[in-house]
Amino acid sequence: MADRREFTSKTRKQALKRSGLICEALGDWYGLPSGQRCTRNLGDGVNYDHLILDANSHDNSLENCRAVCPKCHAWKTANRDTPTAAKTVRQQLMGMKTRAKAKIPSPPKPARVEKPKLPPRQLYGAAS
Ligand SMILES: [Zn+2]
């Protein structure tokens, strides 16, 4: 496993100061309702999370750092970071093979038209 770079202590301090000791997790990226910020107090524990996964972004700036509570961090790790990393690798491996095999529904059959029955053809004149 590649070494995962971490935020500097300076960045962590700045992120914590920016958070106001309230979890910075925001919206559905962290499993919250869209636009809603987690309001847990970070005094109970704080994790420093890469907003965009480090393996993808290589970004340890304050902008990519979120001071979040352990619960939000655990949720994002389980639901975002791992699938994102796996997806990236998968896309690189699969290339163009990932074309979706959509089932094309067959067109509806036209209603069958009953031909009117012809009266029995009289090839020869009726015998009299
Ligand atoms: Zn939180």
43 CA distance to ligand 1 middle (Å):
12
> Where in the chain are the domains?
9-94
30 CA distance to ligand 1 middle (Å):
8
Q: Which long-range contacts (CB under 8 A, 24 or more apart) does 40-47 make?
A: 40/69, 40/71, 40/72, 41/69, 42/16, 42/67, 42/68, 42/69, 44/69, 45/69, 45/70, 46/16, 46/70, 47/72, 47/73
pLDDT digits (tens, 9 = 90+) for 27-78: 999 999 999 999 999 998 999 999 988 778 889 999 999 999 999 999 999 9
Output the pTM of the full model: 0.61
DSSP 2: P
Helix (H) or strand (E) holding 65: strand 65-68
* pLDDT value for 92: 67
pLDDT digits (tens, 9 = 90+) for 104-124: 677 777 777 777 777 777 666
Contact 80, 54 (CB under 8 A): no
Query: Could you give the angle at the alpha carbon of 5 between the alpha carbons of 78 and 82, nearest 5°?
Result: 20
pLDDT digits (tens, 9 = 90+) for 25-38: 999 999 999 999 99
* pLDDT value for 44: 86
| Three-state secondary structure call for residue 84 | helix
1 CA distance to ligand 1 middle (Å):
28
Higher pLDDT, 80 or 98: 80
For 72-100, what is the mean pLDDT?
A: 72
pLDDT-derived band at 2, boundaries 50, 70, 90: very low
CA distance 82 to 104: 33
40 CA distance to ligand 1 middle (Å):
5
